[in-house]
Amino acid sequence: MAADLTDADRMIAAADSAGVRLAVGHLARYAAVFQAARELIQSGDIGQPLSVFCRGKEDDRGGGEDMLVLGSHLLDLARFFFGDPRWVFGHVTTDGRDMVKADAHEPTEPVGAVAGDAIVALYGFANGVRGHFESRRGLADGGEVRMGITVSGSEATLAVRYDENRDLRIRRTRRPLEEGGDFEVVPGAPPTDPPGADPLPPAEGIGLYFARSNRLAAIDLIQAIEEDREPLASGRDARWSLEMIHGVYVSHFERRAMPLPLRGRQHPLGQ
């Protein structure tokens, strides 16, 4: 959304002052697979929610760039499922040593400064739910997709990998997640076109996912304007993702859990 929280704050204030709606393309909020996952969590189908695990793509961008470019979507989903996190504890390394500010650099994409090639973070949500984010550079090999989100409950576990299919899968057992076990695909209702919308042009796999989600995001923004409400993926929601990302760096430097939202609004890497 922005290079730092100062700019994000200004963007939201400008939109509020002008009386306009600000939406950000966090498309997972509109996708049927993640809407279904949220419904299963809220209905109690997985029992008491315990943990949500977010894993980046872990390709050559693994670490800081992965957290910002792709982790922003995963962390937004964690908040979509469980609300605002209360704190974050993070640790960042570069070449196996603790990251320092001098490691900050501009990544391959124009998203602002990043640092670290291995990141692990822990978030505290309400009702004892713990969130985990991890990204390590160079683990992706072009084979099985590592990026995705997993929600562990007392009765079952949900998982979605960011592959071509993006199926919602469930493992129905009280055994802990680390023991493994078989998952089965959760059948979903076939998606339908919004009332009055023209059919989408032919598309398959991930192309269809983006086509559907982009259209739903656009329709939601139009409806948010008409109904005088925030879009489902609002500027405030996107700012929270940046809070969660920059909080990892702040926690790393402070060597303690940091309350969220952050008090400091400048880029934690000093950029």
Q: How far apart are CA 2 and CA 72, in angstroms?
A: 12
Full residue range of the structural domain in which residue 132 is found: 27-186+236-259
- The CATH number of residue 95's host domain is 3.30.360.10
* Residue 140, in any domain of the structure: yes
* Residue 181, in any domain of the structure: yes
* Residue 124, in any domain of the structure: yes
* Residue 46, in any domain of the structure: yes
Does the pLDDT of residue 55 top 90, yes or no? yes
For range 126-134, the mean pLDDT: 97
Residue 207: band (very low, low, confident or very high) from pLDDT cuts 50, 70, 90 = confident
pTM of structure? 0.95
* Residue 214, in any domain of the structure: no
Residue 147: partners with Cβ closer than 8 Å, 6 or more residues away:
55, 56, 57, 58, 70, 74, 161, 162
- Tens digit of each residue's pLDDT (9 = 90 or more) over 152-162: 999 999 999 99
* Residue 20, in any domain of the structure: no
* Residue 5, in any domain of the structure: no
pLDDT confidence of residue 97 = 98
Provide the domain count of the chain.
Answer: 1
